[in-house]
């Protein structure tokens, strides 16, 4: 597996996590990835929900083969590092997890996240830690400089006890995760607790629930990177559904746009 062409992107991605705080937006297709690169962002992250909605499926309903193809398309769309939203590795067992992680690395991604929740429920603590350890070994076995992001998804699954979340964050860091992520944290106290549990490793915060804190406050709390998840895709859907609602009501006032046919044609041409 010759992935030397991705080494510069992977090194640059790791460098971004060493100091300061950066925004990592989430495109859902090649066009949105190219637009984000055009606007000057330093790195991109996939969104499982945004891509699933674009394919007419619910989040979590896309199979691993299609996900890997999508990741490869995002990697090839721009010259930027791409972080893969790899859900739970698309496997309930460790052998399958390791195999899928190796396949994910082969797409050219610079980082990949592994959640501590499966299709139906959270993995128990010991299993979740073992899965991070297995993903770490799978990456290391490839010899590639790909970052592993350990996700504690308790809040998203209605199990938002911060004691359990920070325990998992600390354990994932110890098990080899390079960056830690607890989507759903919303308050300065919650963010600070995750940063402390992960230290000295960097932390990602999902902007949605924490948006009211603002970029400067999140950076001041020690957050290294801020992602937006499926929010950009939902914004696109909002514009689309507004225009459709107007058509249903025989109105034509839902087509105002901040981007033109010519602009997109120039960028994509």
Domain membership flag for residue 50: yes
185 near 194, Cβ under 8 Å?
A: yes
Domain CATH number, residue 80:
3.20.20.60
Name the band, by pLDDT with cuts 50, 70 and 90, for residue 225.
very high
Cα separation, 63 vs 153, whole angstroms: 20
Domain membership flag for residue 188: yes
Domain membership flag for residue 249: no
Q: What pLDDT digit, counting tens, does each position of 50-103 carry?
A: 999 999 999 999 999 999 999 999 999 999 999 999 999 999 999 999 999 999
Task: Identify any residues that bridge with 205 across adjacent strands, giving them in sequence order.
Answer: 226
157 near 123, Cβ under 8 Å?
A: no
Cα separation, 160 vs 162, whole angstroms: 6
Which structural domain, as residue segments, surrounds residue 90? 4-230
Count of C-beta atoms within a 10 Å radius of residue 54: 16
Q: What pLDDT digit, counting tens, does each position of 110-137 carry?
A: 999 999 998 778 999 999 999 999 999 9
Name the band, by pLDDT with cuts 50, 70 and 90, for residue 258.
confident
Domain membership flag for residue 138: yes
Q: What pLDDT digit, counting tens, does each position of 137-186 carry?
A: 999 999 999 999 999 999 999 887 999 999 999 999 999 999 999 999 99
Domain membership flag for residue 140: yes
pTM given for the model: 0.95
Domain membership flag for residue 238: no
177 near 170, Cβ under 8 Å?
A: no
Domain membership flag for residue 265: no
Number of domains into which the chain is organized? 1
Q: Tell me the percentage of the chain whose pLDDT exceeds 70.
A: 99
33 near 236, Cβ under 8 Å?
A: no
173 near 201, Cβ under 8 Å?
A: yes
Domain membership flag for residue 59: yes
**CA angle at residue 234 from 64 to 65, to 5 degrees?**
10
């Amino acid at each position: 597996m010759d992935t030397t062409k991705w080494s510069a992107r992977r090194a640059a991605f790791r460098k971004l996590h060493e100091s300061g705080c950066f925004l990592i937006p989430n495109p859902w297709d090649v066009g949105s990835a190219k637009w984000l690169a055009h606007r000057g962002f330093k790195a991109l992250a996939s969104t499982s929900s945004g891509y699933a909605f674009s394919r007419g499926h619910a989040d979590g309903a896309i199979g691993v083969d299609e996900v890997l193809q999508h990741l490869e398309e995002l990697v090839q769309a721009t010259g930027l590092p791409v972080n893969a939203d790899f859900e739970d590795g698309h496997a309930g067992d460790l052998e399958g997890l390791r195999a899928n992680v190796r396949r994910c690395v082969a797409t050219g991604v610079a980082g990949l996240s592994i959640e501590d929740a499966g299709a139906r429920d959270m993995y128990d603590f010991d299993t979740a830690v073992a899965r991070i350890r297995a993903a770490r070994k799978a990456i290391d076995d490839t010899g590639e400089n790909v970052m592993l992001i350990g996700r504690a998804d308790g809040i998203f699954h209605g199990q938002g006890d911060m004691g359990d979340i920070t325990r998992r964050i600390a354990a994932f860091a110890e098990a080899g995760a390079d960056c830690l992520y607890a989507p759903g944290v919303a308050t300065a106290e919650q963010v600070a607790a995750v940063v402390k549990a992960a230290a000295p490793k960097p932390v990602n915060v999902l902007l949605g629930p924490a948006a009211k804190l603002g970029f400067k406050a999140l950076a001041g709390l020690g957050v290294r990177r801020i992602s937006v998840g499926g929010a950009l895709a939902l914004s696109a859907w909002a514009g689309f559904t507004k225009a459709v609602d107007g058509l249903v009501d025989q109105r034509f006032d839902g087509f105002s746009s901040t981007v033109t046919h010519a602009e997109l044609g120039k960028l994509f041409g």
